[in-house]
Each structure stands twice: as structure tokens, then as C-alpha cells.
A and B are shown apart, each in its own frame.
Chain A
Amino acid sequence: MVERFKKGLSSMSASVLAIVAGLFAGFIILLISNPANALKGLQTILIGGWNNGIKGVGQVLYFATPIILTGLSVGFAFKTGMFNIGAAGQLMVGGFVSVYVGVTWTFLPGAWHWIVALFMGALGGMVWGMLVGLFKALLNVHEVITSIMLNYIALYAINYLVKNSHLFDALKNQTVNVAANAVLPKAGLDQIFYVLKGRYHDASSVNSGIFIAIGLAVIVYIILNKTTFGFELKACGFNKHASRYAGINENRAIITSMAIAGALSGVAGATMYLAPPSGMHIHVAEILAAEGFNGIAVALLGMSNPIGIIFSGLFIAHITVGGSYLQSLKYMKEIIEIIIGMIIYFSAFSLLVRDVLARIAKRRKKAEGATSKNEEEC
């Protein structure tokens, strides 16, 4: 128990160190682009959501929702030894399916509408993720290749489908609103996270999606650490030969693991596009969802641990929201994105940092051994 606690602590300290390095890198960019406001800028980033009181905190939770889910998606696949770089595509498929259901299936009564839309979004992502697993298991095609290709297939197929369907609002070049029943409930969160502007409640966009994300993180944690299924997945991730030898069906593990990873990304998409007040809109554009790639950073920073991923997702959302307030300090939008990107990806190198630190410590120990011996001889 003590050992496990120590291990957890050391991986957490590596994450914290990485974050500090990331902030430092971001600070350098701040200095370059606008030295006068650099310190103030760093402060703004660090304060994050609190820049705008309790509403800002709500925004952090709102932005954390999809990246916790894609982080879980990437982290879960990691445990089976798969690098799921296709979270973006799975997220977009999930988002599209849930928008389709949200707009079209108006026959569903009351809350059933958003529940089914969310579920179908998960299913869409699951199919997209499972394709990657099938290619890997049956044809031995590397998952990075298939998932990158499937990202683009998802992007252009969705653009095509949106443009050529009743979902399309040609004036705005985006999808129409989903039905009111298909929007995720706010679960009273708007009554907590708001600021008063005169008599007007300026509420945050946070909604029940954050509960779904945290709930799924807990479920993923339980699957990985408590079940025979999770045991098999981890065994395959560590050593697929030994897993096969022990009678574990390695191909099934790869396919199910990718299917679950895809479903998690699909839920991420659903929570984004079903967010109140009227659902986010799918724009016909040639951009892959950034939330998919940020999931990689979240998973790395959280060391692929589902509980760690909740916190790393919250942290990255915190920084991102903080960054959005930089505009008031006369930073350009593009520069802000570079700064935030730097911080996120520098932080994500925490695994690397931990390895390097371990190596340095080992070398130092060895050097100390050598010097003490020299002293004795002198």
C-alpha cells in the first residue's frame, strides 16, 4: 500500500514538473510577443477560469468535458498497447450521429431524446474505433495509419452528409439546431456557475456532460483495475505473446478495446454537440476536432490513469479558459493558441520527463559511488 502510494506520488510530481516546464515555455512566447504584459499574461493563464468569477469555473468544467472523455479514450487504448490517434474522427462521427438523432428523431418523448442521441453518438464513435481494431487484429495494419486515415474519412464524409441533408442550414453553413429535448440537461449547474450582470444571470455553458465524463472515468477505472476483462486488456498491452500463451484472445482484446475507446470519443462528440442551449453546430469546414488531439495530451499528462485523466483534463481546460482572457491584454488570438498549445504539449511530455529524471538520478548515484571510492584512495 505504502509502495503504491509512493509510486503514485512520484508520477504525480513528474506531471507537476512537466506542467511547470510547459508554463515556462509559454512564458517565453508571452515575452517574445508582448514583453510588457508577459507577467500579467502568465498570471491570467494561471488564474484560468477565476478571471471571470464562478462563471469562468463553470466554463472550465464545460471545456474539460470532451477532453476528459477523449483523454479516457486515448488512455484506455494505451492500456491495451494501442495508440489511438483517431479520437478526433471518432469524436466527429459521434457528434454527427447525435446531431442527426437530435434533429430527426423528434418522436422520442422527453428526456429519452437526449439519452438516445447520446447513446447513438457513443455507438457511432464505437463503430469508428472498432474499425481501427478490426484492421489491426485481422489484417495487422498499424493503428496509427488507419486512425489517421479514418480521421479524414470522417471529416469529409460528415461534411458531405451535412451539406446534402435536411440537417444543413445553408445560410449559416452549419447544421440546424437540435430539438429542445435532445439538449443535455443543465442539472441545475447554471444556478451555481453564473455571474450577475445587473439583474441578468450570465450563466456558464456547463451542463450534465461533466457528470457523464467523471462517471465514465470512474467506470473505466473499475473496468481496468477490478475486472477480468481489464486484466486481459492490460496483459495484452504489456505482452501480447504471453497473453496469447495464457489463452487470452488477443484479437478480441484489441477490437473491444478500440471499440470502447471509440465509444468514449463518441460520447465526447455527443456532449459537445448536444450542449445547451441549442446544441453546438457542425460547421462545414476542413478542420479536425482539436478536442481529439488534446485527448492525447490529457492521457499522457494523466499517465493513462482514469482518475489522473480527470485532473489533467481539468487542468488543460483551466489553462485554455485562462488563455481566452489574454485577448484583453492585447495578445492576438493566434498567439494565444500557440501559447496554450505550447503549455499543453510541453506538459504532455511528462512521461518523457519522468524517464529522463530517473536516468539522471541513476547516473548521479553511480558517479557518487565513483567519487567516494576515489576519495578513499586519496
Chain B
Amino acid sequence: MSDYIIEMLRITKDFPGIRANDDITLQLRRGEIHALLGENGAGKSTLMSILFGLYQADQGEIRKDGAVVKINDPNDANALGIGMVHQHFKLVHNFTVLENIILGVENTKHGLLQMNEARKKVVALSEQYGLLVDPDAYIQDITVGMQQRVEILKMLYRENDILIFDEPTAVLTPQEIEELMRIMRGLAQEGKSILFITHKLNEIMAVADRCTVLRKGRYIGTVDVKDTTPEALAEMMVGRKINFTIDKAPAKLGEPALAVKGLTVAGHGHKKAVDKVSFEVKKGEIVCIAGIDGNGQSELVYALTGLIPSEGEVLLNGKPVEKLSIRKRNESGLSHIPEDRHKHGLVLDFDLQQNLALKRYFREEMQSHGFIRFDRVRDYARKLIEQYDIRSGQGEDTVVRSMSGGNQQKAIVAREIDFDPEVLIAVQPTRGLDVGAMLYIHEQLIKVRDEGKAVLLISLELDEVFQLADRILVIFEGKIVADLDTKSATPQELGLYMAGSRKEEVHGGKV
């Protein structure tokens, strides 16, 4: 029997105008966790889609247990024991966990569903792998982390041995990521073979046995994780040395640009989403609000920018803005890189120039007597595209929906920074982006700070928090529970605050 459970040998796949996979070989050992690393557009998704039967390779072959197999569609993949957790889950929201798991492989007797056996099997699997999933909960009621476990259970229920995880941590909180790592290790110990697609190096170091690196559709190499370092992996992925520590000059603090006093936002029931929050952001400073997702960060930002109503005071350069409309707040110097770039940040069916002009089409320079001056819009868009290196198929005429996530985000960052704001609010500005784009956006944020503007950063990633922030505020259940200087704070301390520990506990013997 072959050493490898699955082999993809010399795979090549062309799309019109681009070779997505160029002679790529990937060999998965039985019972290992094998990471597949590459930037956005490196060809990871194409390669996995070929393995899962969504595409067919132009050249090369796939072997299972040493024998050549053909995978023409996902059903073939499933028959070979290959299962996949997609980045965007494929779940029916108003079905229960159990119903979702058996969907497509239902047992029936006289046309009636036989759920009991299925339930037993699901409960047994859930216990065996420590998934702790309630089979009768509705998908819409459970957390994203739990939903992911349902996807894992779906694969286990179908007795898949080869499990593909497509960027599974992108949607998870730090705690959920820890849990997922534990589950993945458990699966591997039970003999499952795991392919783990990611571009996060620390996750690979934490959980993977081996790692295959792709760059621009080409195979770069496969390494044993225990023999390598994050720096070496990053260099393989990007093709040049990466400097992770950004040079940041000491902060030159000025007057407070943003002052928040007693800000309160109503939540569901009588619990407040944001509870009497007060803080300041000075000119020339990056203040980061850290916290686990769902502790009121989103509501806080929506209240500051005027998207939802709130009580309390918000001062921009000393002037109250809490009563102003969104447009007037923007015009007073508030910029906002939103959390959800598809929902808030962009009109996906508009072209790039219209999106870049989304917050200034009404200004004197772009209109006369209510008519948009499209020549000015075009010139402005070209300037930003050039300056911020926004890449797209047809330049300023590209419909934004067709652009890559990284370039969509770059467009938003360009628009918001070029707004020349007094205060820039950036919410998870690098979510889902590859290392190159992430570093670029970090540099831009620091540049804004060095120009003497105030930056309020909301991030779930501790790495990002420590790299960028001058000062860290921790939010827990709608309250600011800690105000820390980045230089003296430790990740452990921060983690405890984020989990709701009080000050005494953190500084007492518990640390």
C-alpha cells in the first residue's frame, strides 16, 4: 500500500488568460495535517476544487492509495472519502443540526425519515471528537464556530477520510481557533488525513505536520513544519524576505481628535450593546479596541459613524457630532473602513470609479448644478488607482464585483484615507487578506497616524493589535474594561481582559 492516501501529481489547469495551476504536486500522508500555503490567487482554491471534482485538471493525475482515480464531480470525491469544509458554509439555516447533517444521505422507510439511527451516530461522533454539538439546535441560533463543527460532522457522518478545510479560521474568534486546532489534532490522531488551506503562518506552525507552498500558480516546495520557521515559510510564499515588524516612530501626541463620553447603544432585550463607553483618541495616535467578536465593537462603530442611534456624546475636534447625519459626520472629518466591505464598503455593481467617488460625488469639484462631472470622477479614480496600486481588469471601468477581495479592500482604504480625515475608524481592515496586502494596509494606517491624524482600529487579531496600536482598549460585554499601553502590555494579559477577567484578577496571582 502506498505511503500516501491522496496524491495530486503534476497538475496543470488553465483558465482563459491565466494558468492557475502550473505543474503542481501535492502528496498527502495518512493521518497527517498538511497545510497548503499561498497568497490570494496562488492557486490553492483551484487545486482543491480539482481534488473535490469542481474542476478537471488539464494535465496531471490524481491517485488514491497509489491507484489513479478520476474525479468528475463532488459525488465522485465523496465516494473516494474526500470531504470539504468550505469557507462559506453550506448549511440550511432554518433546519436543525441533525437535519443538515443527514441532508442528501437520509435513511427512509416507506418514504418516512428515520432519524433515530442518524441521531445516535451523530451524537456518538460528536462525543468521539469532542465537538459538543447539540443535534436539535437550529443553525440560525448557533455561533459561526459551532456551524463549522456541523460542517465537520457532515464529513464524519459520510465517513470521509480525507478532510479539506478551506481557510477555516477566517471566520473564527481566537478562542474558537484554539478549539478548532484541538479538534483537527484529534481528527488526525483518529487516522483522518487533513488538508488545511490557509495563509496564516502561526496556525501552520501550531497544527500542521507538513506544509506545501504555492506561489502564483507554481509549486515552490513541501517542508516539514518542525524544521522550519514562520519567516522561512513567508519567504517561500511571497518570494522575498518579509519584514514583519513594521518600523514605527514613537507617537507624537496632539490634542484629542475624537472624544467619546458615556456612549450607550441599546441591544437586544434590556442588555446594552454598548454601555456608557468613554475614551479619547489623540492626534498622531493609533488606539485599538481589542475584544472577542460580538462584545459591542460593531455597535460602537456604527454609533460613532451614525449608522445606528445612540445616547451620549461624541466630539470630533471638540465639536459635538452625535446629532449630525452620516453625511455631515463624514464631511466633518470622520472616515470609516467598514467591517463588512460587501455590505457597507462598496456598491458591488457600480464600477471602480463610482465606488471611489462614493463619498465625494456631491462635492463642488465633482459636480456642477447637480450634474456629475464624469471627467473629474475618472481623473480622480485614475489618481487613486495609480497611487494605491489598485489592480483590476479594466481599470476605473471595472465592475467592483469582479475584483479580488484584496483589491476591493485597497479601493476602500484608498477612498477613506484620501478623504484626509481627522479621525479614521478602521474595522478589521485586513480581514481575509494575504500577507502582502495586509502589510500594505498596515503601512498606510501608520502613515495616517504619522501625518498627525487619529486612528481608531478595531481588530480581533492580537498580532495586528500589538503591531499597530499605541494604546489598547479592551471591550467586554459592551464596556471598556482595560486601557493599556502597548509597550507594557502582554498578549496573556490582554487575553484575560478579553475573556472578561477583572483588573484585580489579572494583576493578582492568577496570571
Interface on A for B, CB 8 Å cutoff? 3, 226-229, 231, 234-235, 238-239, 241-249, 369-370, 373, 376
CB<8 Å pairs between A and B, sample of 8: A227-B370, A231-B361, A231-B372, A235-B347, A243-B347, A246-B330, A247-B327, A247-B330
A241-B344, A247-B359 given. 19 additional CB < 8 A pairs?
Answer: A227-B372, A228-B371, A229-B370, A231-B372, A234-B350, A235-B358, A239-B347, A239-B348, A239-B349, A242-B346, A243-B347, A245-B305, A245-B326, A246-B359, A247-B326, A247-B328, A249-B327, A370-B72, A376-B59
By a CB distance below 8 angstroms, the chain B residues around A248 are 327
By a CB distance below 8 angstroms, the chain A residues around B325 are 247, 249
Cα distance, A229 to B372, chains bound together (Å): 9
A222, closest chain B residue (CB): B371
Contact of A238 among B55, B345, B350 (CB under 8 A): B350
Cα distance, A226 to B371, chains bound together (Å): 6
Count of interface residues, chain B, beta-carbon cutoff 8 Å: 36
Q: Which among A234, A243, A247, A369 has the greatest number of chain B C-beta atoms within 10 A?
A: A247
Cα distance, A238 to B347, chains bound together (Å): 6
By a CB distance below 8 angstroms, the chain A residues around B348 are 238-239
By a CB distance below 8 angstroms, the chain A residues around B55 are 369
By a CB distance below 8 angstroms, the chain B residues around A373 are 56-58
Cα distance, A229 to B329, chains bound together (Å): 20
Q: Is the CB of B372 within 8 A of A242?
A: no
Cα distance, A373 to B72, chains bound together (Å): 11
Give the Cβ gap from B374 to chain A, nearest Cβ, in Å: 8
Contact of A228 among B307, B343, B344, B362 (CB under 8 A): B362
Q: Which residues of B (96-141) have their CB < 8 Å from a CB of A?
A: none
By a CB distance below 8 angstroms, the chain A residues around B367 are 228
Q: Is the CB of A244 within 8 A of B326?
A: yes
B59, closest chain A residue (CB): A376
By a CB distance below 8 angstroms, the chain A residues around B330 are 246-247
Q: Is the CB of B344 within 8 A of A3?
A: no
**Residue B397, interface by CB 8 Å:** yes
**Residue B338, interface by CB 8 Å:** yes
Q: Is the CB of B394 within 8 A of A245?
A: no
**Residue B212, interface by CB 8 Å:** no
Give the Cβ gap from B320 to chain A, nearest Cβ, in Å: 18
Cα distance, A370 to B330, chains bound together (Å): 51
Give the Cβ gap from B333 to chain A, nearest Cβ, in Å: 13
Task: Annotate B65-92 by CB proximity to A: 1 below 8 A, 0 otherwise.
Answer: 0000000100000000000000000000
Q: Is the CB of A241 within 8 A of B354?
A: no
**Residue B44, interface by CB 8 Å:** no
Q: Which residues of B (298-348) have their CB < 8 Å from a CB of A?
A: 305, 307, 325-331, 336, 338, 343-348
* Contacts A3-B397, A231-B354, A239-B348; A245 near B336 (Cβ below 8 A): yes
By a CB distance below 8 angstroms, the chain A residues around B358 are 235, 242, 246
